[in-house]
Structure 1
Amino acid sequence: MTIATVMVYVDPEQQAEGQVRIARDAANKFGASLTGVSAFAVEPPFVAEGVIIQEMTADDLKRLKLELSDKEQWFRSVAGLPKERVEWRSSVEYPTHSWSMKRDQPTGGDQAHAGKDRSMPFH
């Protein structure tokens, strides 16, 4: 069996190193690259009677992106693999929008989607 990439979810707010290390060990076993994925969900504004009650601000987005950048550095450190074997994918947006807009773009993980019905985002 050939595996090109092992992908592991990295929780942006907490994470035990063990999950990343297991994924790293699997990548090493198969000579694969390791991809960490993480995201913060950005909820649409909450509006009541025409008044915006809660909305994500530019400062909120900046803070979330900084947290993901910090998490990327943590992930790369824990992975401990050569940089050419480690990838990072992250996003700050509403999850279904992120998936539907980006899933048809070529990525290292396209092999995982081959032959599947792409019309259903989480199929």
Structure 2
Amino acid sequence: MTYATVMVSLALDQPNQARLQVAGELAERYEATLVGVAAARFAPPLYFTDGAEAQRLIDQEEASVKRCLGDLEAEFRAATRTRGGRVEWRCATDFPTRFVPAQARCADIIVSGGQSPAFSDAFSLASPRDLVMQVGRPLLVVPDRINWLDLRSVLVAWKDTPEARRAVADALPMLRKARDVTIVEIPERDDDRSVVMAGVTDVAAWLARHGITATARVCEGDRNETAAAQLEKVAGDVDAGLIVAGAYGHSRFRELILGGVTQYLVTQTARSVLLSH
């Protein structure tokens, strides 16, 4: 398995340099086609006028959106000018969370920026929390402060769920490039530790059959800490440059309202994250 097509989702009024850098690295590393994609729509004001004035405002704002999309294309072209391989650009005046998932059919992996904890504009930004649920492809979330894809140490945040199994399989090309791979599970309060360790060891053995040496580990952190806090400590311990995880192993409603590992992963700023759902 490899990545033959890497797609990078760009956003209006957001820094795009980090995701462009990492997407370009991925495309070069796997000799893949690099596809840039962006979409935005005119966001109507809360207080609207009518008649000719309304049409003038609509035309003016739609033209502004098209200019911004043109600027994003220019940014994409400039960032990929010195890279080898094939590049494509796709954009539309549409909702990003509708257009980007539709284009994902042509890609093996989608690169996105991180998610600010603040409210995001659905007219101009495809949130990674939404994308991971819709694209049907692994999503590589790249925080704005990241300037390269660090695969020296990769942490697999394991939970015996379909999402986590899919994430590890989707990450195989990157895991093969990693110097160190650690698989960690954070047990629930009532979990049998021996059963948990057996599961993590199974995953390590499966990776070994793919030529990947991995260390199996069960977290021994404070049970009073959240799973996200414990995962952050382990990531710091192993100096992880990338975390691989299944997205929304619990219900999405529970994670969005109460917080959870996925919410932490898309808002933290220290390392890239590969998510699958």
The TM-score, its normalising length taken from structure 2, stands at 0.32
Distance apart, 1:98 and its partner CA: 4.5
**Which residue of structure 1 aligns with residue 9 of structure 2?**
9
Distance apart, 1:18 and its partner CA: 2.1
Distance (whole Å) between structure 2 residues aligned to residue 63 and residue 98 of structure 1: 19
Query: Is the alpha carbon distance of 1:47 and 1:17 closer, same or farther for their aligned partners in structure 2, counting shifts above 3 Å?
Result: closer
Query: Is the alpha carbon distance of 1:8 and 1:94 closer, same or farther for their aligned partners in structure 2, counting shifts above 3 Å?
Result: closer
**Which residue of structure 1 aligns with residue 116 of structure 2?**
none
Structure 2: 5+ residue runs without aligned partners? 109-132, 137-277
Query: Is the alpha carbon distance of 1:25 and 1:94 closer, same or farther for their aligned partners in structure 2, counting shifts above 3 Å?
Result: closer
Q: How does 1:99-118 map to 2 (within 5 A)?
A: 103=102, 109-110=105-106, 112=108
Do the aligned partners of 2:39 and 2:100 also contact (CA within 8 Å) in 1? no
Q: What is the CA RMSD across the aligned residues, in angstroms?
A: 3.3
- Bigger-Rg structure (1/2): 2
Distance (whole Å) between structure 1 residues aligned to residue 23 and residue 97 of structure 2: 25
Structure 1: 5+ residue runs without aligned partners? 113-120
**Which residue of structure 2 aligns with residue 36 of structure 1?**
36
Q: Residue deviations 1:55-107, cap 9 Å, x none? A: 8601111111011111101111112335x71111112124466479xx3xxx6
Distance (whole Å) between structure 1 residues aligned to residue 96 and residue 68 of structure 2: 17
Distance (whole Å) between structure 1 residues aligned to residue 99 and residue 17 of structure 2: 26
**Which residue of structure 2 aligns with residue 64 of structure 1?**
65
**Which residue of structure 1 aligns with residue 78 of structure 2?**
77
Greater length-normalized contact order (CA 8 Å, ≥ 6 residues apart): 1
Distance (whole Å) between structure 2 residues aligned to residue 47 and residue 87 of structure 1: 39
Do the aligned partners of 1:39 and 1:90 also contact (CA within 8 Å) in 2? yes
Distance (whole Å) between structure 2 residues aligned to residue 9 and residue 96 of structure 1: 10
Distance apart, 1:8 and its partner CA: 1.0
Distance (whole Å) between structure 2 residues aligned to residue 11 and residue 111 of structure 1: 18
Distance apart, 1:111 and its partner CA: 5.7
Which stretch of the first structure deviates more once superposed, 17-26 or 84-93? 84-93
Which SS does the other structure have where 2:39 is aligned? strand
Size of the aligned set, in residue pairs, is 106
Distance (whole Å) between structure 2 residues aligned to residue 62 and residue 32 of structure 1: 33
Which SS does the other structure have where 2:36 is aligned? strand
Which SS does the other structure have where 2:63 is aligned? helix
Identity of aligned residues (%): 28
